[in-house]
């Protein structure tokens, strides 16, 4: 493995791993702290898109790099590629089905807070703990909690396709409040993710600080085509 890494440009490793390490560190700390992060599906997808941006920059972006345009416009072409990537992520985010994502809690741990948040929106709300489903009969909306029951990552989705954004915003605020009032799970999860992040960080530091001249040269070659 070390022989393979030594044959790769250090700047390439830095560019590929740095966003991914940041993503792993942030979410491993959230999981280990016992706190929960409740966010929208769009923000969750955007965070994942940032995490893999480095891998895409050294993979598909290199494979389909517009060399002719780079020869004419120089480093500005990277701004255009970044804008194209951002617009693509925005398009997917805006056209995907709305959902609420919860980090740090399993689907079973999300069910009760979801039911409590639903009752704030509809006093007649009722739930099925076996199917992890919540029904709001007055509003005419049915929700379910998706995810592997042994993993502390859950998402709340609706059976109905045309649920208003106002409802999702109110549900997000209510669920965030209810989840934050729950006790932290024991045992804590996220050690594996943190170990992977630490391993990649050590690898990155070893490659970067041991070959600083190559990193600078690699950056120049990457920027100027």
Q: Are residues 48 and 107 in the same domain?
A: no
Q: What is the arithmetic mean of pLDDT over 110-136?
A: 94
- In this structure, the answer to whether residues 123 and 177 fall within a common structural domain is yes
pLDDT value at residue 88: 94
pTM: 0.83
Residues 105 and 173 in one domain: yes
Look up the CATH number of the domain holding residue 104.
3.30.310
Q: Are residues 5 and 87 in the same domain?
A: yes
**Comparing C-alpha atoms, which of 187, 209, 168 is closest to residue 32?**
187
* Whether residue 75 is found in the same domain as residue 103: no
223 and 151 fall within a common domain:
no
**Could you tell me if 13 and 69 lie in one domain?**
yes
Question: Where is mean pLDDT largest: 6-20, 60-74, 107-121, 200-214?
Answer: 107-121
What band does 8 get if pLDDT is binned at 50, 70 and 90? Answer: low
pLDDT score recorded for residue 6? 54
Residue with tokens 């489903």: 133
Total of domains in the chain: 2
One domain for residues 105 and 175: yes
Shared-domain flag, residues 133 and 217: no
What's the rounded Cα separation, in Å, for the pair 104 and 108?
12
- Dihedral sign for Cα atoms in the order 108, 36, 100, 90: negative
120 shares a domain with 177: yes
In this structure, are residues 144 and 192 in contact, taking their beta carbons and an 8 Å threshold? Answer: no
Asked which of 98-102, 108-112, 193-197, 213-217 is least confident by mean pLDDT, the reply is: 213-217
Average pLDDT over residues 132-152: 92
Examine the domain organization and report whether 119 and 140 are in the same domain: yes
Rg of the chain over all Cα atoms, to the nearest angstrom: 22
pLDDT tens track for 159-200: 998 899 999 999 999 999 999 988 888 777 888 889 999 998
Give dist(CA 212, CA 190) in Å, integer. Answer: 32
Question: Do 80 and 105 lie in a common domain?
Answer: no
63 or 99: whose pLDDT is higher?
99
Spatial neighbors of 66 by CB under 8 A, at least 6 apart, are: 77
Q: How confident is the model at residue 11 (pLDDT cuts 50, 70, 90)?
A: confident
Q: In what order do the strands lie in the sheet with 153-158?
A: 37-40, 100-103, 153-158, 141-146, 133-136, 126-128
β partners of residue 158: 143
Neighbours of 52 (CB within 10 A): 14
The residue range of the domain holding 135 is: 99-183
């Amino acid at each position: 493995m070390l022989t393979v890494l030594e044959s790769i440009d250090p700047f390439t490793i830095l560019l590929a791993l740095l966003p991914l390490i940041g993503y792993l560190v942030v979410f491993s700390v959230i999981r280990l702290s016992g706190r929960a992060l409740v966010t929208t599906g769009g923000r969750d997808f955007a965070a994942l898109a940032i995490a893999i941006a480095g891998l895409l920059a050294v993979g598909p972006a290199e494979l389909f790099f517009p060399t002719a345009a780079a020869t004419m416009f120089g480093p500005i072409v990277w701004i255009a590629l970044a804008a194209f990537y951002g617009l693509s992520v925005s398009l997917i985010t805006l056209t995907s089905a709305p959902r609420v994502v919860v980090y740090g809690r399993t689907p079973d741990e999300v069910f009760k807070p979801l039911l409590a948040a639903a009752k704030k929106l509809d006093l007649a709300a009722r739930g099925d703990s076996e199917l992890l489903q919540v029904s709001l009969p007055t509003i005419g909306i049915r929700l379910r909690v998706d995810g592997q029951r042994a993993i502390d990552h859950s998402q709340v989705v609706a059976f109905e396709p045309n649920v208003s954004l106002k409802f999702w915003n109110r549900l997000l605020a209510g669920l965030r409040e209810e989840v934050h009032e729950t006790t932290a799970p024991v045992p804590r999860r996220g050690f594996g993710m943190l170990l992977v992040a630490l391993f990649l960080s050590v690898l990155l530091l070893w490659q970067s600080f041991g070959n600083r001249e190559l990193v600078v040269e690699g950056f120049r070659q990457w920027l100027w085509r």
